[in-house]
Amino acid sequence: MQDFKLVSDSCCDLTPELASFFNGEMVPFSMLLENINYTDDDSLDIGHWLAAMKASKSVPKSACPPPEAFAQKMRKSSIVFGSMITSKLSGAYNSACMARDIVKKESPGKQIHIFDSKSASAGQLAVACKLRDCIQAGMDFDTTVRKVTHFIEHMHTFFILENLDTLIKNGRMGRIVGYVASAMSLRPIMTAVDGEIRLFEKARGSVRAFTRLVDIIGECCTDFSDRTLVITHCNNDRQAHFIRAEAQKRFSFKEIIISRTGGLSTMYANDGGVIIAF
């Protein structure tokens, strides 16, 4: 497979190595806080964005890219894949699908497939890793689509956040579930079920929560030899590296990747948030 490209929304927190492999291009979300628009691209200062959110009593809002923004990127290659934030939380997947239809009508010979990751951040990156593996194995377009679709259907996503306020206030999870999860000094371990955010279980305190998170990895699978563990985090190198070290000792992942969250992921993860997918 040649002349391929990954075109995704900016919640896909690609590493520089994967961005280079795919000649990847992220189409940015826009975010609004205190009547100031922020664009989730390489020019965004994450530290400034975090500080602005902490200083504000307002809830940040986001808007997905329009179809034409995706279409402009898709026109550049003959084979295009997209790894999108779950369609249950954002309109980015639908926008990218509309862009696909526009571009294929212009150029019927193009091969374009947009994956609904049913996840976000680390999950979108895990999908990109599976795409890379399929391409490196010499699979054709249709086989790659089948393999990656199967991977998404069986992918696991978990996350631990310092607080759930942004998710709750933006309607990304139910208020009752969110506040129960945060009550009594309990640290919620959240998951994604068919693209929707659910409470998985609660642990008392951060240390126990992250220790339990590693245990959960082992409960999800028995064979890790063909899996990549992806860890994304917002200013939490310590826990990200703890998870990696423990996973290296206990499981046989073929690869473990750590990446920092971009603007949209940071908006929802908040300072200290950690997301894993495999």
Q: What domains can be seen in the chain, in order of their start residue?
A: 4-154 (3.40.50.10170), 157-277 (3.30.1180.10)
The whole-angstrom separation of Cα 55 and Cα 39 is 19
The enclosing H or E element of 50 equals helix 46-55
**Residues 47-72: tens digit of each pLDDT:** 999 999 989 988 899 999 999 999 99
Mean pLDDT (the chain, rounded): 93
pLDDT score, position 217: 98
pLDDT band at 127 (very low <50, low <70, confident <90, very high): very high
pLDDT score, position 191: 96
State yes or no: pLDDT of 94 exceeds 50.
yes
pLDDT score, position 171: 57
pLDDT band at 162 (very low <50, low <70, confident <90, very high): confident
pLDDT band at 188 (very low <50, low <70, confident <90, very high): confident
pLDDT score, position 37: 97
Bridge partners, 188 (sequence order): 202
pLDDT score, position 176: 47
Bridge partners, 39 (sequence order): 30
